[in-house]
Structure 1
Amino acid sequence: MKKSVSKLALLLFTICFSSIAFAQDFQGKAYYMSKTTIDMDQFGGGQMSAEQKKRMQDRMKSFLEKQYVLTFNKEESIYKEEEKLEAPGGGRGFRGFGSMTGGPQYKNVKSKEALQEQEFFGKQFLIKDELKDLEWKMGTETKQIGQYTVFKATATKAIDESDFTSFRRRGRDNDQKKENDKAKDSTKTGEKADTDSNNTLDELEIPKTIEVVAWYTPQIPINQGPGDYWGLPGLILEVNADRTTILCTKIVMNPEEKEDIDKPKKGDEVTQKEYAEIIAKKMKEMQEMYGGRGRGGRGGGRRN
């Protein structure tokens, strides 16, 4: 009990001291690395070979491993992916994923304004919405990230159809039973098996909510963070959300050359809800297209 009280007192003291020390016109840059892991067994019904899994992982690497820079002041921030040269043939992604590119993400914690440029299947969108609050539960657990003492906070975050990183197979707990049933079914033809493999998209779903663990430092007393994350009494240096980890690797305070934090402007303006509906519609089209391809082999796909 005494240990928790002392940590809480340390947190309050750090917040008060740091707030006084920061000038109104200060600016900083935080560099992050983001990595998402995906269970390859979720694709292809768990029937992919080790070589096929590795090949798919290599194609997805540019989508799942990224580096970002968060430029911030007391009220605003802009979160941008760092540009890098792709190896020949790299960065193509696979079906759908490679056709989705996130642009600069702007947050204003005073006006609660959120803006992001997003390209999806060759079309540019500007997602404009109100900055959504997360109901953080503040903890007293601490650790060190570089020279900064960080405190733990947790929250439950609602997600939508545009978040591909949380894809998972439906009824994952019953997968083994289904595999056993398939093995017993001696009447199943190779043609039917092909249909099942083409219907992988039909087996995928996105959960309604995910659990988020964030680590923030009151030594930088702004309530900003990477991506959608904000609202804590200090800069968020690490986020663990479902299968994604975002970790701050470097911080530069008051750089000699300050950067303008400009609002994104490119694209057709939509809300987050409208953009999620566009994603859902496209995913349905893909399900019908790839599912239909398997079924067409039986009746509609004549060959001369």
Structure 2
Amino acid sequence: MKKAILLLLFVLIYTNSQAQKDFQGMAVYESKTSMADFKVRMEGNKNINPEMQKMMEERMKKMFEKTFILNFDKSASIYKEEEKLDANPQGGGFRMMSSMTGGGGTFYKNVKDKTYTVDKEFMGKEFLVKDSLASLNWKMEAETRVIGGYTCYKATAVKEASKTDFRNFRPKKEEEPKKDADKPAEAKKTNFMDAVELPKEITITAWYTPEIPVNQGPEGYWGLPGLILEVNDGKTIILCSKVILNPKEKAEIKPSSKGKVVGQKEYDETVMKKMEEFREMNQGRGDRGGMQIRIGQ
């Protein structure tokens, strides 16, 4: 009898171990960044008609509204933008800005080893960024809400703003206008990079569900006792719209291997250098026409 019980116990432990090993999930996230502070206009360029301007504004919208797929298991995950056919592929500055808004490449993170690998294309060059995962000091809150049928708990954290993530930039605070009741306030025209600034820190609000007990989330977010279903940094909201546990088709969860291997610091320095070159190249174009940003009404 003891042998039978021991055998049954062994079978149960083995079965549970295999189930844990084979466990996998898939989550769909919708990412949206508010651009309400900025108004895109084509100033002084006779070659840009209303139809072209509309197209440019639609491209800007696409850059800040994306769909991502997260495939995860107990220890690792891959997060990648959903592939879509685009009849009007982006080019030039739009492609550069798009690569800085979370799109493109595969973000792999291993929460067991606390490392991540992400392949990025920037200015025609491929990079493979490898580094350690940042550990956020999450503050657990008692507040709850339901997302997609899952009970979620609130957690907040403060983190340093990334210099190479365009979504972190905010409009510069304008100087107080001179008091003149007879003259209406005029919008300020400026080069785009001169119109924004980067805050030192940003506050993150996350909602996670212990009902899916994995230490995972979208992008580089992790470290909570349950799958993160929503992240909000004040400008960008990443919200899970669908979850499938143990899908029939298993995804291959492994890091990319293409591109020049660099650390995050080296990659950031490369991007910042190119951004400065881009800013200098576009200075003075206001008189010759081109895309500018109107700050204000």
TM-score (norm 2): 0.78
Is it true that 1:28 corresponds to 2:25 in the alignment? yes
Matches of residues 137-156 of structure 1 in structure 2 within 5 Å?
Answer: 137-156=139-158
Conservation of the 8 A alpha-carbon contact between 1:33 and 1:247? yes
> For residues 246 and 93 of structure 1, do their structure 2 counterparts lie closer, same or farther at Cα, with a shift above 3 Å needed?
farther
Match of 2:128 among 126, 129, 148: 126
2:144, 2:109 → 1: CA distance? 27
Conservation of the 8 A alpha-carbon contact between 2:37 and 2:171? no
1:82, 1:178 → 2: CA distance? 48
Matches of residues 196-275 of structure 1 in structure 2 within 5 Å?
Answer: 197=189, 199-275=191-267
Q: Considering fraction of residues, name the structure with more helix.
A: 1
Structure scoring higher RCO (CA < 8 A, sep ≥ 6) equals: 2
1:291, 1:218 → 2: CA distance? 51
Pairwise CA distance, 1:92? 4.8
Conservation of the 8 A alpha-carbon contact between 1:60 and 1:94? no
Match of 2:161 among 159, 168, 171: 159
Please state whether the residue corresponding to 1:281 is helix, strand or coil.
helix
Is it true that 1:281 corresponds to 2:269 in the alignment? no
1:149, 1:250 → 2: CA distance? 14
Which residue of 1 is the match for residue 292 of structure 2?
Answer: none
Please state whether the residue corresponding to 2:253 is helix, strand or coil.
coil
> For residues 128 and 155 of structure 1, do their structure 2 counterparts lie closer, same or farther at Cα, with a shift above 3 Å needed?
same
Conservation of the 8 A alpha-carbon contact between 1:157 and 1:210? yes
> For residues 99 and 155 of structure 1, do their structure 2 counterparts lie closer, same or farther at Cα, with a shift above 3 Å needed?
closer
> For residues 99 and 154 of structure 1, do their structure 2 counterparts lie closer, same or farther at Cα, with a shift above 3 Å needed?
closer
Please state whether the residue corresponding to 2:62 is helix, strand or coil.
helix
Conservation of the 8 A alpha-carbon contact between 2:40 and 2:57? no
Aligned residues: 260
Pairwise CA distance, 1:119? 0.6
1:204, 1:274 → 2: CA distance? 23
The aligned amino acid for 1:126 is: L
Which residue of 2 is the match for residue 67 of structure 1?
Answer: 67
Please state whether the residue corresponding to 2:152 is helix, strand or coil.
strand
Question: Can you list the C-alpha shifts for 1:260-290, whole angstroms capped at 9, x where unaligned?
Answer: 2111111111111111111111111112111
Unaligned runs of 5+ in 1: 1-18, 45-50, 185-192, 298-304
Please state whether the residue corresponding to 1:260 is helix, strand or coil.
coil
Question: Can you list the C-alpha shifts for 1:81-133, whole angstroms capped at 9, x where unaligned?
Answer: 110112x3354585431465530000111111110011111111111000110
Conservation of the 8 A alpha-carbon contact between 1:62 and 1:93? no
Which residue of 2 is the match for residue 5 of structure 1?
Answer: none
Match of 1:41 among 16, 38, 47: 38
Which residue of 2 is the match for residue 58 of structure 1?
Answer: 58
Is it true that 1:89 corresponds to 2:88 in the alignment? yes
Unaligned runs of 5+ in 2: 1-15, 42-49, 290-297
1:65, 1:178 → 2: CA distance? 37
Which residue of 1 is the match for residue 10 of structure 2?
Answer: none
Please state whether the residue corresponding to 2:105 is helix, strand or coil.
strand
The aligned amino acid for 2:70 is: L
Q: For the aligned residues, what is the CA RMSD?
A: 3.2
Question: Can you list the C-alpha shifts for 1:147-177, whole angstroms capped at 9, x where unaligned?
Answer: 21000000112122211012222224x2x52
2:283, 2:130 → 1: CA distance? 34
1:36, 1:93 → 2: CA distance? 21
The aligned amino acid for 2:88 is: G
Conservation of the 8 A alpha-carbon contact between 2:162 and 2:168? no
Please state whether the residue corresponding to 1:177 is helix, strand or coil.
coil
Which residue of 2 is the match for residue 8 of structure 1?
Answer: none
TM-score (norm 1): 0.76
Which residue of 1 is the match for residue 111 of structure 2?
Answer: 109
